[in-house]
């Protein structure tokens, strides 16, 4: 079958097969509960370093899937990550995805206090009334968002069902992620400098597909 004859689903299915074949050649596969997340991040980035750099707290994937099935509200730190979430799968489960970064009130507050909009957006997440729905934070760009979320958690102002930490860059990025390695909540962290909005969205989508029953590897 030529590439022209393959539809998007067939291309994705074959891509996942190739990824798993290459992962097997590298050594033992990641644990079964984490494999779909690892594969989807690699599928998005073509970067096999994520095989080893993705950190999962015990039960993090199960917690994320459970939250998705309960109609989770997802707050991201970029509109790119928000755009990358599969809306059909999310709507099927009654969830929502939000990003406060472009809101006037966030920009105004950040300017008045001399802090980043990403930090203020995490404060906005802490103030959300989700009507009982679980809250998932997905940080794919700003280390200040991840740091502020950690502070809010420590202060008892934030209680997320899952935190996805995947900011990318060089200044305080790796350090912001290390804060979360011992945090008292479920978390999936892309350790080191690598990450990005596409990685955050890929992790969210892997959890969504599992929750919605879409099994494509």
Q: DSSP letters of 15-74?
A: HHHHHHHHHHHHSSPPPHHHHHHHHHHHHHH--TTHHHHEEE-TTHHHHHHHHHHTT-EE
Angle at 131 between CA 126 and CA 137, to 5 degrees: 40
The set of residues, in sequence order, having a beta carbon less than 8 Å from that of 123 and lying 6+ positions away, is 148, 152
Q: Do residues 207 and 65 lie in contact, with contact meaning Cβ atoms separated by under 8 Å?
A: yes
CA distances to 179, 186, 187 from 59, in Å: 19, 7, 9
Tell me the C-alpha distance between 149 and 185, whole Å.
Answer: 12
> CB neighbours (10 Å) of residue 93?
15
Active site includes 43?
A: yes
Q: How many Å apart are CA 158 and CA 183, to the nearest integer? A: 12
Which one is catalytic: 43, 82, 177, 194?
A: 43
**Any idea which residues carry the catalytic annotation?**
43
């Amino acid at each position: 079958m030529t590439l022209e004859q393959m539809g998007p689903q067939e291309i994705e299915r074959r891509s996942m097969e190739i990824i798993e074949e290459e992962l097997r050649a590298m050594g033992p596969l990641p644990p079964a509960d984490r494999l779909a997340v690892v594969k989807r991040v690699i599928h998005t980035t073509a970067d096999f370093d994520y095989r080893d750099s993705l950190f999962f707290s015990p039960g993090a994937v199960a917690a994320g899937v459970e939250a998705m099935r309960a109609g989770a509200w997802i707050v991201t730190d970029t509109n790119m990550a928000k755009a990358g979430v599969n809306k059909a799968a999310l709507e099927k489960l009654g969830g929502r995805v939000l990003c406060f970064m472009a809101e006037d009130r966030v920009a105004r507050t950040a300017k008045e206090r001399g802090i980043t909009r990403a930090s203020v957006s995490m404060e906005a997440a802490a103030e959300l009334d989700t009507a009982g729905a679980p809250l998932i934070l997905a940080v794919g760009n700003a280390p200040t968002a991840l740091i502020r979320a950690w502070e809010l958690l420590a202060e008892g102002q934030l209680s997320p069902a899952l935190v996805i930490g995947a900011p990318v860059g060089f200044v305080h990025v790796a350090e912001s992620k290390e804060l979360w390695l011992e945090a008292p909540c479920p978390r999936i962290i892309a350790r080191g400098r690598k990450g990005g909005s596409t990685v955050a969205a890929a992790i969210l989508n892997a959890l969504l597909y599992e929750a919605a029953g879409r099994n494509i590897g």
